[in-house]
Chain A
Amino acid sequence: MSGNEVAGEAAVAAGCRFYAGYPITPQNQLTEYMSRRVPEVGGVFIQAESELAAINMVFGAAAAGARAMTSSSSPGISLKQEGISYLAGCELPAVIVNMNRAGPGLGDVTPSQADYFQSTRGGGHGDYRTITLGPQNLQELYDLTYLAFELADRYRNPALILGDGILAQVMEPVRLKPLRRVRPAPAWALTGCGDGPPRKILSLFLKPGVAEAHNWRLAAKYRRIEVREQRWDEFQVEDAKLVVAAFGSSARIARASVQAAREEGLAVGLFRPVSLWPFPYQPLRRLAEGRRRFLVVEMNLGQMVEDVRLAVENRGPVSFYGRPGGGVPTPEEILKVIRKTYRGAER
């Protein structure tokens, strides 16, 4: 299966029965897959007239109590930001897959990680966060997409999968889970209120102080997520003098470089954030306490590096190597940077 199909199949396994999308490369096969697969399991597929419409259809489906998903790539995700902000403000669970391509503007359809800020800082207007998971291979894409639905439900918050053009297009075998039983609509969902009191889904609060109180409640929820949902992966970091930090496809490439550096006798390790929000600050801070040097590798001009600096807090030097605009680094390229940075680490 290709990454696009894997993300779609994971959603179906997680009980997603509503998908709305709009074509954009490199995630077209995901929309196409869902057009066949979702109706097959009794769900709804809609090819929307725009990404604006798609995310708002997902808003409606989520408000109505369905597990719902949309997917796109960077320019389309920009259009979805209004809807994502409303999902966050109204506390509706939904999953959004972004197969990140190069920007700004129309950019290029080649792989990129330039939407890291947009994904982890809310992305639209207002003070909110979206759970963001960054898979590095197709098994993880499958597992994390499945998990995203659970987390979105648990916290009533939109959850993002931040993939890229590599992840979308490669083919790998994946271990599938059995299809989860579709959960009934939660009590807060709009299904018609029966004989009970009417239910309202809102993010507009015009009475004095109510919007602030709502935001404080959201803040407490975000704090809970930060405490409970940090996910990461470490590779040979214990004795490492230099720790390479990377996520997603960059991490997968950098791992090969780290292995090659080890074969040369360099004490290098890899720290890979899996949840990009909440960012795994604690484990990284712990590593920083051991007087290490850090090298952040991204397919952008330097975005996650800011989170790494926040975690390291000047306990050690943090340098950056990145390729913007769809450039994909090779393992040899990163290895060269590792050697150079490592010499700094030994001094």
Chain B
Amino acid sequence: MSQTYLFKRTEGLQDAPTSFCPGCGHGILLRLVAELVWELGLRGRTVGVAPVGCAVTAYDYWNFDVTEAAHGRAPAVATGIKRVHPDRLVFTYQGDGDLAAIGTAEIVHAANRGENLTTVFVNNAVYGMTRGQMAPTTMLGQKTTTTAAGRDPRQHGYPLRVCEMLAGLDGVVYLERLALSDPASVRRIKAAIRKGFECQLSGQGFSLIEVLSPCPVNWNLSPVDSLTYVREVMSPVFPPGVIKDRTCQKPAPGV
């Protein structure tokens, strides 16, 4: 009897249980990256950079070369790798504490140099791994373990919009923000990451895909309510859409 698979683990992933909390966006996003690496036929020619944060254990899951990076430094590490191997697919996968707080300088300057890299930026509005402290991306009024009364802009400033900040840099080719809030959005996110990878493979330069991603445990919400939160609370502050697109259709010469 023949079998038809509707869904199975991509060969871009190793056979390992993940350590993510129920309803966390990381599991989906790490899988999308792995599926793309496999589908593009690049498993043997990819180096991923997973910095400190909930995503650091990606090295246990991804079935291709991976290095860890110190907190915030992934864009610098990826720069080193990519400059040594310009013909490999090199990407960073970073949280919002990592990218938008401690690693602000590294992401801005990698983007500004127009490094031919792709960044998957997972914005879950908190520091997940250290259990839910305020991130630069935390919503105004959002309660976290370091803003018990809710984020107050007079004390803590405002949610940092990374894509808008990077959009003005000439080295940046493609920026898109998407909300991970329902099954259909998963496909759109995958298409955007694919576009980022293809932008790199055709040598066009720096791209970043920001995903608004649920963190039910640290938001004190159920997984389902977290998806609503992404849609109704985060999305108005971080409007999804293509923020910048200077990609050209024809692949540029010399990957």
Contacts and interface: CB of A to CB of B under 8 A. Distances in A.
Given A49-B109, A90-B68, A200-B59, A192 B84 contact: no
B67 A201 contact: yes
Most B CB within 10 A of own CB, among A44, A46, A53, A54? A53
B44 A60 contact: no
B251 interface: no
B65 A191 contact: yes
Contacts of A56: 69-70, 73, 76-77, 80, 106
Contact of B79 (A60, A201, A206): A60
Contact of A52 (B14, B44, B67, B73): B73
A18 B83 contact: yes
Contacts of A201: 66-68
B105 A53 contact: yes
B44 A192 contact: yes
B147 interface: no
Contacts of A57: 76-77, 79-80, 83
Interface residues of A, number: 41
Contacts, number: 131
Interface string A42-70: 00101011101110111111111110100
Contact of B80 (A49, A61, A192): A61
B186 interface: no
Which residue, of B44, B65, B88, B106, has the highest number of chain A Cβ atoms within 10 A?
A: B65
Interface string A83-116: 1001000100000000000000000000000000
Contacts of A195: 44
A237 interface: no
Contacts of A1: none
Given A53-B76, A192-B47, A61 B83 contact: yes
Interface string A272-288: 00000000000000000
Given A61-B84, A66-B84, 18 more contacts: A18-B80, A18-B83, A44-B84, A49-B106, A49-B108, A53-B109, A58-B80, A59-B77, A60-B84, A62-B80, A83-B73, A190-B67, A191-B65, A192-B44, A193-B64, A198-B64, A201-B68, A202-B67
